[in-house]
Structure 1
Amino acid sequence: MAISPTSWISPLFWLTIVLILVSSIPCYSADPDLLQDFCVGDVKAAITINGFPCKPASEVTPDDFFFDGLSKEGNTSNRYGMSLTPGNVLSFPGLNTLGISMNRVDFAPGGLNPPHSHPRATESGVVIKGRLLVGFTTTSNVFHSKVLTAGQMFVVPKGLVHFQKNVGKGKALIYTAFNSHLPGAAILATTLFGATPAIPNDVLTQAFQVEEEVVNEMKAKFST
């Protein structure tokens, strides 16, 4: 009886081969790798894809690769005392498919960038001015935080809830960077109490273990 050349190989051998192959797969950033030198986003295109279509190369100009939006101080006259200026693909289409973006965040004294998460990116940031309490919570409900000053840097792993609060006496400023051209932001209070259509009250009262009057009050604050 003929014996197959591979019949003697044990299942452990094949398991080892599979593990080697899996471990050799590279870890990609939040956005896929480029297929060309650049793809300046046509953010007004009628078609919808996972990203934006490219402008024709003949229509690309030097201005598509430069953006001055992060040079201006934001208006912090709001309930959070904070202003976020995005430098993502929507405001800077030259970032399309490049897997990077940046934000400028200005803080009045006591200002807060409220708890939020970025579903599509890890965030890193550097304090330019002021004193900021930076914190995030892991999926095991472990809270990590530290007060940072000018020149110090932080990182928040992808998808984790985090915040920054100005704990100094003057204004504060940070620049944040992401490994996605459009990291997205889910601001907890707005997401839960300002959704359209609204999340049912009985879901929120049970989740937060509070009375319906409290939920209605929160919805009144964040639904506009």
Structure 2
Amino acid sequence: MSRLFSLILVIVFASEAVSALDFCVADLKGPQTPAGYTCKSPANVTVDDFVFSGLAKAGNTANLIKAAVTPAFDAQFPGVNGLGLSIARLDLAVGGVIPMHTHPGANELLVVTQGKILAGFISSANSVYYKTLNKGEVMLFPQGLLHFQINAAGVTSVAFVSFSSPNPGLQITDFAFFANDLPSKIVETTTFLDDAQVKKLKGVLGGTN
């Protein structure tokens, strides 16, 4: 019983010590764990760890999806490590799209700052929620649900997205199916697409097999 009590005291004091930290700036040279990066020594922390300038510049949209996401996650912005939040910039050229994707580790909040964006998500009950968002409008995407963003204007559209995690994770459905070496026969069986469609999509997205 005394051993159990001692163990409980150790756990309590350890958790209090962690919660007493003002911050845990990521040590990008150290290991990354499921809980985030290990902390940089406070003696080496500077104001630059809490400032990120990368979102001021538009991302390069000269690509297949005509879109760019500029992240300010813990790997780019060490100050957010352990704080339960992060942000990114989304640039969508005319015709640009962020395909169906999920963030397994975070909720997402999007605010449009330029143009118009058609955005939506699908619930686990397969209910669909989508709307064309104008400048200044905000939309929420719950954690783990499939969602998308499409440029709905005749000009480049821009949004900023915040997340409830310093590393929200990302899986793009199209790439998960067609940008790897999963055998085409399995893809065809699980998606009900025919062989020609699967091979075409693998060709476009870089998949094999």
Sequence identity (%): 36
Aligned length: 189
Structure with max Cα Rg: 1
2:192 alignment counterpart: 209
Partner amino acid for 1:202?
Answer: K
1:128 alignment counterpart: 113
Unpaired runs of at least 5, structure 2: 1-17
1:179 alignment counterpart: 164
**TM-score normalized by structure 2?**
0.86
1:165 alignment counterpart: 150
Work out the CA distance in 2 between the residues paired with 1:89 and 1:129. Answer: 26
Deviations 1:162-182 (A, max 9, x none): 111111111110000000000
Moved over 3 A (4+): none
Work out the CA distance in 2 between the residues paired with 1:151 and 1:219. Answer: 37
Matches within 5 A, 1:2-81: 34=19, 36-45=21-30, 47-50=31-34, 51-81=36-66
Deviations 1:19-63 (A, max 9, x none): xxxxxxxxxxxxxx8551111101221x34221111111111111
Pairing 1:147–2:129 present: no
101 and 173 in structure 1: CA distance in 2 versus 1, 3 angstrom threshold: same
Work out the CA distance in 2 between the residues paired with 1:93 and 1:133. Answer: 32
Deviations 1:55-103 (A, max 9, x none): 1111111111100011111111112111110010010011110010001
Unpaired runs of at least 5, structure 1: 1-32
SS in 1 for 2:91: strand
Q: CA RMSD for the aligned pairs? A: 1.4
Instruction: Tell me which protein shows more helix as a share of its residues.
Output: 2
Partner amino acid for 1:184?
Answer: G
